[in-house]
Structure 1
Amino acid sequence: MNAIVLAVGIMVTLSMLRVSVVLALILSAIIGGVYAGMPVASIVEEFNDGLGSGAPIALALATLGAFAVALSRAGIATYISSRMLNLVGSHDSPRNIEKTKWGIYLLLVLISVASGTIVPVHIAFIPLLIPPMLLVFNKMELDRRIIACVICFGIVAKYMVFPVGYGAIYLNDILVYSINEAGENLGFSITRDMAPQAMIIPVVGMLVGLLVAILFTYRKKRAYSDAPIKAEEEKEEKEKTLKPLQKILILAAIVSTLVVQVMTGSMVFGGMVGFSILALSGVMKWSEQDTIFDNGMRMMAMVGFIMVAAAGFAAVMRATGEVPLLVQQAVALIGDSRALAALSMLLVGLIITMGIGSSFSTVPIIAAIFVPLGLEYGFSAMAIIALIGTAGALGDAGSPVSDSTLGPTAGLNVDRQHDHIWDTVVPTFIHFNIPLIIFGWIAAMVL
Structure 2
Amino acid sequence: MEWIVVVSVIVMLALSLLRVHVIFAIIIAGIVAGLMAGMSIQDTIDILIEGMGGQADTALSYILLGVFAAMISYTGITSLLVRGLIKILTGKKTLLVLCLAGIACLSQNVIPVHIAFIPILIPPLLKLFDQMKLDRRAVATALTFGLKAPYIMISAGFGLIFHKTIKSGMQNNGVDITIGEIAKSLAFPGLGMLFGLLVAVFITYRKDREPEQSVKVDSGYNDEEIAKDTRFEVKHGLTILAIVGALIVQILTESLVIGALTGIVLMVVFFAVPLRKGDTFVQQGVGMMGTIAFVMLVASGFGDILKQTGAVDALVSASSEMLDNNQALIAFILLLVGLLITLGIGSSFGTIPIIAALYVPICVAAGFSPMAIAVLIGTAGALGDAGSPASDSTLGPTSGLSADGKHHHIWDTCVPTFLHFNIPLFLFGWIASIIL
TM-score for both structures, normalised by structure 1: 0.78
CA offset at residue 115 of structure 1?
2.2
Change (3 A) 1:283 1:346: same
Question: Is this contact kept in 1: 2:401–2:407, CA < 8 A?
Answer: yes
Q: 1:438 to 1:359 in 2, by over 3 A?
A: same
1:175 aligned onto 2:166:
yes
Please point out which of 337, 353, 356 is paired with 1:367: 356
Q: Does 1:258 align with 2:247?
A: yes
1:151 to 134, 143, 149: 143
> Compared with structure 1, are the counterparts of its residues 251 and 411 closer, same or farther at alpha carbon in structure 2 (3 Å cutoff)?
same
Q: 1:438: Cα distance to partner?
A: 0.6
| Distance in structure 1 (CA, Å) of the matches to 2:337 and 2:136 | 31
Counterpart-to-counterpart distance in 1, 2:62 and 2:162? 12
Q: 1:188 aligns with which of 175, 179, 201?
A: 175
Aligned residue for 2:104? 112
Q: Distance in 1 between matches of 2:82 and 2:423?
A: 32
Shift of 1:123: 2.4
Instruction: State how far apart, in whole Å, the 2-side matches of 1:256 and 1:166 are.
Output: 16
Deviations 1:134-165 (A, max 9, x none): 33333433332222221121112122223334
Kept in 1: contact 2:188–2:432 (CA 8 A) = yes
- The residue type equivalent to 2:88 in the other structure is L
Which among 100, 119, 123 is matched to residue 115 of structure 2?
A: 123
- Separation in structure 2 between the aligned mates of residue 414 and residue 234 of structure 1, nearest angstrom: 17
In 1, Cα distance between equivalents of 2:95 and 2:431: 31
Three-state SS of the structure 1 residue aligned to 2:322 is: helix
Matched, 1:274 2:275: no
Alpha-carbon separation, structure 1, partners of 2:406 and 2:257: 38
Partner AA of 2:340 in structure 1: I
Find the counterpart in structure 2 of residue 37 from structure 1.
none
Report whether the alignment pairs 1:206 with 2:193.
yes
Tell me the distance in 2 between the aligned counterparts of 1:370 and 1:150.
Answer: 31
**How has the CA–CA distance of structure 1 residues 294 and 366 changed in structure 2, closer, same or farther, with 3 Å as cutoff?**
farther
What residue in structure 2 maps to residue 390 of structure 1?
379
Query: Counterparts of 1:359 and 1:129 in 2: how far apart (Å)?
Result: 25
CA contact (8 A) 1:310 1:361 kept: no
By how many angstroms is 1:444 displaced? 0.8
Kindly indicate whether the alpha-carbon contact (under 8 Å) linking 2:77 and 2:236 is maintained by their aligned counterparts in 1.
no
Alignment partner of 1:235 is 2:225: yes
For 1:382 and 1:420, the matched residues in 2 are separated by 35
- TM-score scaled by structure 2? 0.79
Match of 2:19 in 1: none
SS in 1 for 2:108: coil
1:12 and 2:9 aligned: yes
Q: 1:386-440: CA deviations, max 9, x gaps?
A: 1121112212222233332233333334444444433332222211111011101
Which sections of structure 2, spanning at least 5 residues, go unmatched?
Answer: 16-21
* 8 Å contact from structure 2 (residues 157, 251) kept in 1: no
Count residues with an aligned counterpart.
417
**CA distance in 1: counterparts of 2:229 and 2:191, whole angstroms:** 37
Contact 2:107–2:113 (8 Å) recurs in 1: yes
1:404 aligns to what?
393
Alignment of 1:71-150 (within 5 A): 71-88=72-89, 91=91, 100-150=92-142
CA distance in 2, matches of 1:139, 1:349: 40
Deviations 1:287-332 (A, max 9, x none): 4446645865773643663586578668757xx7995x87664333
Aligned equivalents of 2:85 and 2:104: distance in 1? 13
Q: Aligned-pair distance for 1:364? A: 3.0
Greater Cα offset, 125-134 or 273-282: 125-134
Q: In the alignment, what sits opposite 2:370?
A: 381
* Residue of structure 2 in register with 1:96 after alignment: none
Please give the root-mean-square deviation of Cα atoms over the aligned residues, in Å: 3.9
Amino acid at match of 2:112: P
Tell me: CA distance 1:269–1:132, structure 2 relative to 1, closer, same or farther (3 Å). closer
